[in-house]
Chains A and B, each alone.
Chain A
Amino acid sequence: MEILKTYKLYIGGQFPRTESGRSYQIQSASGQAIANACLGSKKDIRNAVQAARKAQASWAAKSAFNRSQIIYRIAEMLETRKGQFIEELVLLGHSNATAVAEVQSSIDRCIYYAGWADKYQALSSSVNPVSSPHFNFSVPEPMGVIGVVACQETALIGLISQILPLIVGGNSVVVIANTTKALCAISFAEVLATSDVPGGVVNILTGEVAEMLPTLAGHMDVNALSLAKIKDHLSRNAQEAAIDNLKRCQLYNLDYFDSKNQGLHFITDFQEIKTTWHPIEQIAGGTAGY
């Protein structure tokens, strides 16, 4: 007799149950119950945002190189657990071949974004040639805590494609996972937990988008939203709730299997640009050099 796994939430680096004490069934493609997952609540969102805010500053303060190392490790851990993910995808109704392809693409995408960690800055910053005697430079900075509604069509590749560019850029995230295919999201949380990703940088909640998104979208301490394709009225309400603290909202409706749907702008979509000026002292007799 197997001991079926309990799929819990991932908040602050831990796996708590939902404070609401409720669960829902994840079903296989043929309608069989495969597992119980937590039905996340508003208070879970509240706790997740708290954890995300707490973790964000020190995540952003790590060296870019350090972040790249951690994200490479995610790829390595994902590789190690490939079998588990393939199995879960098959249970959810994919063919073996498709499942293998999705897991492989996911690993590749992790590696891809890991490589960006210490490079996107160079391509999105500038030293600006101002006319006055000032040194002027612009650098990207993470927006902060980002609320994510993960791709509701794919179980793994969408989730990874949405989360990675955000955390590579020093943000922390609160993710509402794919409701019906939540297995891979929580397994991915286990990968994160064993990859040196500090607790709170990624928080993953399972449950109903309709229940959790309003709280996330209205939360005054969330800086931006990344919304995959969901029902129009849910998206609309979320964008309206977001206005109170001027959250930056990005809507994505992409086929993440397409390799062109990864890139620099997915990172810079969640970066602020800060420009700094400082006077340059005009040194007398400045003919040295040329």
Chain B
Amino acid sequence: MVQLKDQYELFINGQWQAPKAKKYFATINPSDESHLSNIAWATEADVDLAVKSARNAYENVWSKLSGAERGKYLFRIARLMQEKARELAVLETLDGGKPIKESRDIDIPLACNHFFYYAGWADKLQEAFAGQQIESLGVAGQITPWNFPLLMLAWKIAPALACGNTVVLKPAETTSLTALKFAEICQEAGLPAGVVNIITGYGDTGAALVVHPDVNKIAFTGSTAVGKQIQKACIGTDKKLTLELGGKSANIILEDAAIDQAVEGVINAIFYNQGHVCCAGSRLYVQESISAQVIEKLKFRLQSIYVGNPLDKNTDIGAINSKKQLETIEKYISLGREEGAEIYQPACQLPSKGYYCLPTLFTDVAQSARIAQEEIFGPVLAIQTFRTIDEVLQKANNSPYGLAAGVWTDKGARIFGLSSQLRAGVVWANTYNKFDPASPFGGYKESGFGREGGVHGLSAYLKITN
């Protein structure tokens, strides 16, 4: 199916280089805890080398190319990704645990398309910022998470390169494989050495990248706690920063919603990707007059959700990404019980090996409950009722987060009314968890700042002056 190396080195300056400290760490398949490969652990010296290569490539090669030329490289990369789609999908599933039908039908195509999309911007940047003076920034340091490894890599690298920057990217330690495969693709595409550098490692590797003095821009997707540390580290430097952090998004069903579609939307909102989604609709607000009905339907729908081997095409919920994450989720499930909410989980046999979690509903939850406030990042839904739109709007916005929100109602004016009042960077009306390279994505408040995707995603990677 896929060719896995026993050991992966760092990808610096267009070549595979051993880490200076000669340290490696294992990456495993969370679906059965089997060993996949050994990954290089980059230390400060490697980070420095990578940044130097990126700087060199920026000064001497990449910034000298026309936008059109840069665009062609991006097209080439996109095309190669498409051609290797199958392999990338399987790798993503093996390394991260997500169902194959999701990596195959969503992650990989979206990742390819993201490169296609930004390829086309590379020579049109001035038109996107008419009347303003724009410049590329230089070297971008990027840190990606484990929930959508290749897709998040695409969200970071494509716009950075299109705007004329070079990149040093550190993927999450539990999911490095598709990033490393991407490095091979860069080689195959003939991308000039040093334009993209992939340095694998743990949080310390990322930290070294963030504080490196010759990095002009930091882009981070991950937890709010780490995001704040990064914001602190950038103070006093000239580094531009964008953050894409956590969320506890409200998904709202009004009594006039298309109920069956709304139920499906709720399932999609919280169980897609095992709930490992920053914009997951993890707080359900259902209008009290239809709540009994909706909850019954949700429980019934849970019966047809298959949890199991991610490589099985029928699997809906795959493996939880790591033991650590599973422990976190289980902690919140216990907390929910302690807090007195009513729990529902379908009867389902979970595999004996690997990290798995049943889709879980908590009903009769209150706004003050911790399971309704804190991000769980798993297939756990906290359900609350509301009586009036006024009330649900207040409660939806009553959160330090502001990443996404869902609205289910059949009334047009109400859709616009609600979506304009919800303090969230993405509002899905009568749908949920939809992504597209042309659509800007990002949060309000503690969910982060800056946007990825669409024309708005360009400003993160340019210096704009008048």
Asked if A236 and B236 make an inter-chain contact with CB atoms under 8 angstroms apart, the answer reads: yes
A5: Cβ under 8 A from any B Cβ:
no
A119: Cβ under 8 A from any B Cβ:
no
Task: Indicate with 1 or 0, residue by residue over B129-161, a CB within 8 angstroms of chain A CB atoms.
Answer: 001100000000000000000000000000000
For residue B182, give the distance in angstroms from its CB to the closest CB of chain A: 22
For residue A217, give the distance in angstroms from its CB to the closest CB of chain B: 12
Residues of B within 8 A of A248 (CB): 449
Asked if B232 and A240 make an inter-chain contact with CB atoms under 8 angstroms apart, the answer reads: yes
Asked if A130 and B429 make an inter-chain contact with CB atoms under 8 angstroms apart, the answer reads: no
Of the residues A129, A134, A264, A278, contact of B415 by C-beta under 8 Å: A278
Most central of A244, A260, A272 by chain B CB within 10 Å = A272
23 of the cross-chain contacts (CB-CB < 8 Å) are A126-B455, A128-B438, A128-B439, A128-B454, A132-B434, A138-B454, A239-B236, A246-B224, A246-B243, A246-B245, A246-B448, A248-B449, A265-B465, A272-B444, A272-B449, A273-B425, A273-B456, A274-B425, A275-B425, A275-B439, A275-B454, A276-B426, A277-B427
Residues of B within 8 A of A265 (CB): 132, 464-466
Q: Which of A228-261 contact B (CB under 8 A)?
A: 232, 236, 239-240, 243-246, 248, 260-261
Of the residues A126, A232, A236, contact of B456 by C-beta under 8 Å: A126
Asked if B436 and A276 make an inter-chain contact with CB atoms under 8 angstroms apart, the answer reads: no
What residue of chain A has the Cβ atom nearest to residue B447's Cβ?
Answer: A246
A263: Cβ under 8 A from any B Cβ:
yes
Residues of A within 8 A of B427 (CB): 274-277
B413: Cβ under 8 A from any A Cβ:
no
Total residues of chain A contacting the partner, CB 8 A: 35
Residues of A within 8 A of B424 (CB): 274
Task: Indicate with 1 or 0, residue by residue over B439-454, a CB within 8 angstroms of chain A CB atoms.
Answer: 1111011101101001
Of the residues A124, A130, A278, contact of B439 by C-beta under 8 Å: A130
Asked if A277 and B232 make an inter-chain contact with CB atoms under 8 angstroms apart, the answer reads: no
Of the residues A126, A263, A268, A277, contact of B454 by C-beta under 8 Å: A126
A47: Cβ under 8 A from any B Cβ:
no
Asked if B445 and A128 make an inter-chain contact with CB atoms under 8 angstroms apart, the answer reads: no
For residue A165, give the distance in angstroms from its CB to the closest CB of chain B: 12
Residues of B within 8 A of A132 (CB): 434, 436
For residue B75, give the distance in angstroms from its CB to the closest CB of chain A: 18
Report the bound CA distance from A232 to B236 in whole Å: 8
Chain B residues engaging chain A, CB cutoff 8 angstroms: 113, 131-132, 224, 227-228, 231-232, 235-236, 243, 245, 400, 415, 419, 424-431, 434, 436, 438-442, 444-446, 448-449, 451, 454-456, 459, 464-466
Interface contact tally, CB-CB below 8 A = 107
Known: A136-B438, A138-B439, A273-B442. A246 touches B231 (CB 8 A): yes
Report the bound CA distance from A193 to B425 in whole Å: 34
Asked if B466 and A263 make an inter-chain contact with CB atoms under 8 angstroms apart, the answer reads: yes
Residues of B within 8 A of A136 (CB): 436, 438-439
Report the bound CA distance from A134 to B415 in whole Å: 14
Asked if A278 and B429 make an inter-chain contact with CB atoms under 8 angstroms apart, the answer reads: yes
What residue of chain A has the Cβ atom nearest to residue B234's Cβ?
Answer: A239
For residue B129, give the distance in angstroms from its CB to the closest CB of chain A: 8
What residue of chain B has the Cβ atom nearest to residue A140's Cβ?
Answer: B456
For residue A63, give the distance in angstroms from its CB to the closest CB of chain B: 13
What residue of chain A has the Cβ atom nearest to residue B232's Cβ?
Answer: A243
Asked if B431 and A278 make an inter-chain contact with CB atoms under 8 angstroms apart, the answer reads: yes
Report the bound CA distance from A275 to B436 in whole Å: 11
Report the bound CA distance from A265 to B459 in whole Å: 10
For residue A138, give the distance in angstroms from its CB to the closest CB of chain B: 5
What residue of chain B has the Cβ atom nearest to residue A269's Cβ?
Answer: B464
Residues of B within 8 A of A245 (CB): 400, 445-446
Residues of A within 8 A of B449 (CB): 246, 248, 272
Residues of A within 8 A of B465 (CB): 260, 265
A131: Cβ under 8 A from any B Cβ:
yes
Most central of B235, B400, B419, B464 by chain A CB within 10 Å = B235
5 tightest A-B CB contacts, nearest first: A130-B436, A263-B466, A128-B438, A260-B466, A278-B429
Residues of A within 8 A of B426 (CB): 274-277
Report the bound CA distance from A244 to B445 in whole Å: 11
For residue B431, give the distance in angstroms from its CB to the closest CB of chain A: 6
Asked if B428 and A277 make an inter-chain contact with CB atoms under 8 angstroms apart, the answer reads: yes
